[in-house]
Structure 1
């Protein structure tokens, strides 16, 4: 399973075949982070079913409402650059707890806001907390796990999938009562996550391969000098144009109420979770990481094109959104694993550098989708999103020689 020692960092050690254990046989600290990840990523899905309701009740345009994703992702992209510095000083546990507190605070304040611009600003604060939590939680699970990098990433992606899939269902239920409900719901869930993490993740249990020295603010930029990490980051930024076009704009064209949108994104999230855990390892084993990624991205671009052609046909949009979950689940696991093995830098630094680039795409895409629809029509955002995803495939193939080594470092299965 692991044939070579990971060259990525002198502080990273990968278990040998004999040392690796089952995916489910993890330390208590790993399950604490896993549980917190599920609740944290519920926040993304909780808000999605209420986007049309927010637009209507706050008298906001579709492009203004999509700024809820733009401010969130923009702040998260920049904040990713400081996560390594913060976590090297506070430690993994307290960085996670700090992120959770910030998320809870800003989501609660969002639930009491009365205009779209206040809400947009508060979502930016939410993005800051999410940056601290997301970057550190990935590094924590990978570092604390005793089953190897690839299986740890599958566990992380499973937590994301579970959170994203359950979130819309809860968001649709709470949102049917009031658009404020999901914001207050996130705050409540974050309190639960805080308590669980505080109790179940002892401070004394630090990974043997944890970062021993304090990291610099410049480390993520230095990491991007490695061509492989830069290629994956730019690829993810381009691919996120399609991802967040679907996530932020599809709710406006489905013609469903909060409950309906909740069930659609529940199906999307379930497929995302299942494929990230069970299908991605098989694809990587059969075709290799890069080829599998490109296949998933090409199929996702085709789905977006179909959504652009049949935007006014409700069942097509619903089916396309749900099916896309399977493509996104596979791709997320594949590219995250590749990033962890891409360059000779610490994993937390690699995650921060990669996330900085990918969330730039996630910041631009939602607002751009809303504006394109207002200027032209509701089909254009999906066609443009598909174009960016196609470009990401071309880009990674032009740089194939710089990234093909990830399969020789560690396989997902």
Structure 2
């Protein structure tokens, strides 16, 4: 019973991360990169702030983190109701079987399988690693706090800069490749002109020599 309570405490902070954030972000007037930035930054803040109150509540009782999660979900529901804009109803209603039908696509099916194993690893390793290392809820909460802070910092500050540099590097490489192809094309054109001039010179030489050979006795 004690081991189960310790494992539950490890999972309390993870449960405070809001899983419906992508759906909320897609409802905003934002591009794909902005949606990804919002999701990663919110995920980092959740991973940073969630384990600390989760450890405090879990140390008092294993029931308290569930009440804390329910309270945060209620706050999130009220924020969605108050701030999320209304969208027109779609022309075709989406059924519950549509997500399963989409899995018939090979690319989406492989992405779903890889995402399944990734999420299993993502939630299993943080849950059982502190248990194996005999870490207290406060120590594991501090580890996840540092992890979340680094995730938020790199998602908001470092990742956009690296993305801009990568785009610039790709543009430079594309320009260099275009210059190289143009230079090769010019070189081939010059060689073609040289071959054309040589062919014309040979043709004129043969036509001039043929009558001379025909007049010999």
Using structure 1 for the length normalisation, give the TM-score. Answer: 0.34
Report 1 or 2 for greater relative contact order, CA contacts < 8 Å, sequence distance ≥ 6.
2
1:151 Cα offset (Å)? 0.9
After superposition, give the CA deviation of every residue in 1:328-354 in whole Å (9 maximum; x if it has no partner): xxxxxxxxxxxxxxxxxxxxxxxxxxx
Indicate if the aligned counterparts of 1:224 and 1:230 stay in contact, CA closer than 8 A. yes
Q: What CA distance in whole angstroms lies between the structure 2 residues aligned with 1:247 and 1:144?
A: 31
Contact 1:144 1:206 in 2 (8 A): no
Matched, 1:265 2:144: yes
DSSP-derived class of the 1:175 partner: helix
Q: Which residue of 1 aligns with 2:64?
A: 181
1:283 offset after TM fit, Å?
Answer: 5.4
Q: Report if aligned partners of 1:142, 1:153 keep a CA contact under 8 Å in 2.
A: no
CA displacement at 1:152 relative to structure 2: 1.4
Is residue 151 of structure 2 the alignment partner of residue 236 of structure 1? no
Q: Distance in 2 between matches of 1:241 and 1:134?
A: 15
Change (3 A) 1:61 1:258: closer
The 3-state SS of whatever aligns with 1:179 is coil
1:172 to 55, 66, 73: 55
Segments of 5+ residues of structure 1 without an aligned counterpart are 1-54, 70-106, 108-125, 289-413
Q: 1:96-138, CA deviations, whole angstroms, 9 ceiling, x for partnerless residues?
A: xxxxxxxxxxx9xxxxxxxxxxxxxxxxxx9xxx9xx845x42
Question: Which residue, 135, 138, 141 being the options, matches 2:22?
Answer: 138
Whose Rg is larger?
2
1:206 partnered with 2:89: no
Secondary structure of residue in 2 paired with 1:176: helix
Deviation at 1:207, TM superposition (A): 4.1
String of CA shifts for 1:213-241, please: whole Å, max 9, x gaps. Answer: 21122311222222222222122223234
Q: Which runs of 5+ in 2 are unaligned?
A: 168-217
Is structure 2 residue 125 aligned with structure 1 residue 246? yes
1:196 to 69, 79, 88: 79
Q: What do you get for the CA RMSD once the two structures are aligned?
A: 3.3
What is the SS of the residue equivalent to 2:135? Answer: coil
Q: SS at the partner of 2:121? A: helix
CA distance in structure 2 between the aligned counterparts of 1:248 and 1:228, rounded to whole angstroms? 30
Residue 79 of structure 1 is matched in structure 2 by none
Structure 2-normalised TM-score? 0.60
Q: How far, CA to CA, are the matches of 1:241 and 1:280 in structure 2?
A: 25
Q: Please give the residue correspondences for 1:57-136 in structure 2 after superposition, counting only pairs within 5 Å.
A: 60=4, 134=19
Does the aligned pair in 1 maintain the 2:5–2:62 contact within 8 Å?
A: no
Q: Which residue of 2 aligns with 1:15?
A: none
Change (3 A) 1:162 1:60: closer
